[in-house]
Amino acid sequence: MVGLAARGLIDLQSCVEYLRQRGRLTVVNTPVDSVLELCGVAQKLEGGNPVLFKHVKGSDYPLATGLYWNRDIVGLLFDTPARRVPFLMAEAVNTWRANPLEPVVVPSGPANEVVEHDLDLRKLPAPVHALADGGHYLDSSVVFAKDPDTGVRNASIHRFLITGPNRMTMQLDEGRHLRDYYERAEKRGAPLEITINNGVDPAIHFAACVPSSAAPIDRDELGVASQLLGEPLQLIKAQTVGVEAAAHAQFVIEGRILPDVREPEGPFGEVTGYYATPANKWTVEVTAITRRRQPTFHTILPGIEVYNCVGLLGEANVFNLVSAQVPGIKEVFFTYGGCGFYHAVVAMAPKGVGWAKQAIMATFAAFPPLKMVTVVDDDVDIYNPSDVEWALATRFSAAKDLILIPDARGHELNPMAAGGLSSKLGLDATAPYPRPKLFERVQMQAVDLSQYDIETGEPAPVVEAANGHEPAPASESGAVEVEVGVPVRRNGRR
Ligand code: MN
């Protein structure tokens, strides 16, 4: 692939402009309130084109969201068909592991054009997302930190609740490298210095989503960002902490996660579709804020966009790891109904009896949060839930094709993972091998519709609009004025 940098996609603005020129950007001109209203509007548009909110009440900055909530758009950004994106990620990770392209530190960058004298996080248009949320959250910023023993850099995405002009609380999930760094610093009574990079380019965003099974704690996953860019990622020195920042970020918030301090955090509407329970959590004291002269704030809705980010890298990693053990693996998809974490569908061309069950076990091992793995033949469209269900309905026998593993490791965010445990369900929905005539799939002749003179009537009424939600409201007094680019189908289905 041609790297993002060669196509000029090195920051959030260039991506937004790239999409706008291609008719793939929705622009909201009406000023919206960052408290609930903004995300209410965004949710109506979720899964379609990315959205630029030009005016957020009470803030000087526009806001972008939804860059990754449609896989066709992700494919457009990476100049590859949506279905190829997980393979592109898998190749980037493999190349990086074999031959890392390390980031470089440059003297200055757009991200520190302005150094704020007056530290006030409340100037940011960080939204209150969901109805019961505990306050204004940053949920898409990429945290850089350094291992307190080895100095190896880490990049990861965490949620932050703004609790004061220079104070936030945050979530540090178990098993994340940042949590490990912090716990070792805290044991010595030391804070952990971080930079919080808001509004980064897709290369950094996806690098931060590389699972730890692909980027272990002794490796700096920002090298994957270099790989996706096609050139060394540019970093800058921070003003007040010993950790670098992304040179092309929109905002950089520098700070320290304080030792032995926990302050209230939550609730927050999480990727699972449930609220994270309020609790005393890790606390950040902000020491500096820098920004571009004209920054665009970045946020995400905790939904399809997260499923795609976690999913694309998870799928890539599962594909790499399972393919090393099981022949004939073709495609992997982490479904949206499975929150991008919990349900995988694997397409394969089994080389013999028993390989589909091997694939189930290897897939669970490759991505521990998974609760359910369905394996289908490669004539099934894994992106189409009805097609996968068809395979279950016609090729699966619960008496012999079901694998149940009670009480294996669970995922902390899942409300069913009591005590960190979760039962795993494997479904072998591949046809018997070798495939009997009885299992031949019906096919019609392939034709090219453009060769036919066809008159169609009005489109048939549909339950949902193309993007899966009601159409955007028409502009009228009091309504939200929305300019919609060319509609695209949601969910990367093709
Ligand atoms: Mn890491």
C-alpha 194 – ligand 1 centre gap (Å):
14
C-alpha 145 – ligand 1 centre gap (Å):
10
C-alpha 209 – ligand 1 centre gap (Å):
9
Distance, in Å, from the CA atom of 494 to the CA atom of 486, rounded to the nearest integer, reads: 16
C-alpha 213 – ligand 1 centre gap (Å):
9
- Give residues with Cβ within 8 angstroms of 118, minimum separation 6: none
Q: Which amino acid is at 71?
A: R
C-alpha angle 234-238-241 in degrees, rounded to nearest 5: 135
C-alpha 177 – ligand 1 centre gap (Å):
5
Provide the whole-model pTM: 0.91
Distance, in Å, from the CA atom of 209 to the CA atom of 485, rounded to the nearest integer, reads: 28
Would you state the pLDDT for residue 259? Answer: 98
Q: Does residue 444 register a pLDDT over 50?
A: yes
Strand ranges (E), 248-342: 251-265, 268-269, 275-276, 279-291, 297-298, 329-334
Distance, in Å, from the CA atom of 279 to the CA atom of 54, rounded to the nearest integer, reads: 34
Total count of residues recorded for the chain: 494
C-alpha 175 – ligand 1 centre gap (Å):
10
β-pair partners for 128? 35
Q: With cut-offs at 50, 70 and 90, classify the pLDDT of residue 325.
A: very high
C-alpha 153 – ligand 1 centre gap (Å):
8
**Higher pLDDT, residue 213 or 434:** 434
C-alpha 110 – ligand 1 centre gap (Å):
25
- 80 in the Ramachandran plot: left (φ > 0), alpha (ψ -120 to 50) or beta? beta
C-alpha 234 – ligand 1 centre gap (Å):
18
Q: Does residue 68 register a pLDDT over 60?
A: yes
C-alpha 220 – ligand 1 centre gap (Å):
6
How many CB atoms neighbour CB 218 within 10 A?
9
C-alpha 221 – ligand 1 centre gap (Å):
6
C-alpha 132 – ligand 1 centre gap (Å):
31
Which of 433, 438, 411 is closest to 422 using CA atoms?
A: 411
How far, in whole angstroms, is CA 372 from its chain's centroid? 20
Q: What 3-state DSSP class applies to 153? A: strand
Distance, in Å, from the CA atom of 77 to the CA atom of 47, rounded to the nearest integer, reads: 15
CA of 205: how far to CAs of 24, 121, 139, in Å?
20, 22, 12
Distance, in Å, from the CA atom of 457 to the CA atom of 199, rounded to the nearest integer, reads: 44
- Give residues with Cβ within 8 angstroms of 149, minimum separation 6: 184
C-alpha 295 – ligand 1 centre gap (Å):
27
Distance, in Å, from the CA atom of 140 to the CA atom of 142, rounded to the nearest integer, reads: 6
- Give residues with Cβ within 8 angstroms of 405, minimum separation 6: 364, 423, 424, 425, 426
C-alpha 261 – ligand 1 centre gap (Å):
24
43 close to 275: Cβ distance less than 8 angstroms:
no
Q: Quick one: average pLDDT of 374-403?
A: 98
Q: Quick one: average pLDDT of 419-445?
A: 95
C-alpha 225 – ligand 1 centre gap (Å):
13
Structure tokens at 478: 């009091």
395 close to 439: Cβ distance less than 8 angstroms:
yes
Q: Quick one: average pLDDT of 340-353?
A: 96
C-alpha 142 – ligand 1 centre gap (Å):
12
Residue appearing with tokens 């960058």:
109
162-187 residue pLDDT tens? 999 999 999 999 889 999 999 999 99
Q: With cut-offs at 50, 70 and 90, classify the pLDDT of residue 485.
A: confident
User: 108 burial class (0-12, 13-18, 19+ CB within 10 angstroms)?
Assistant: exposed
Distance, in Å, from the CA atom of 404 to the CA atom of 426, rounded to the nearest integer, reads: 6
Structure tokens at 388: 């996968």
C-alpha 208 – ligand 1 centre gap (Å):
8
Distance, in Å, from the CA atom of 180 to the CA atom of 333, rounded to the nearest integer, reads: 29
191 close to 125: Cβ distance less than 8 angstroms:
no
Q: What 3-state DSSP class applies to 186? A: helix
C-alpha 8 – ligand 1 centre gap (Å):
27
How far, in whole angstroms, is CA 123 from its chain's centroid? 26
Judged by average pLDDT, the poorest of 139-148, 308-317, 371-380, 393-402 is 308-317
C-alpha 360 – ligand 1 centre gap (Å):
26
Mean pLDDT of the chain: 93
Distance, in Å, from the CA atom of 367 to the CA atom of 214, rounded to the nearest integer, reads: 10
C-alpha 113 – ligand 1 centre gap (Å):
28
Say whether the peptide bond before residue 434 is cis (omega within 30 degrees of 0).
yes
Q: Does residue 492 register a pLDDT over 60?
A: no
C-alpha 377 – ligand 1 centre gap (Å):
34
Which of 420, 419, 416, 421 is closest to 338 using CA atoms?
A: 416
User: 437 burial class (0-12, 13-18, 19+ CB within 10 angstroms)?
Assistant: exposed
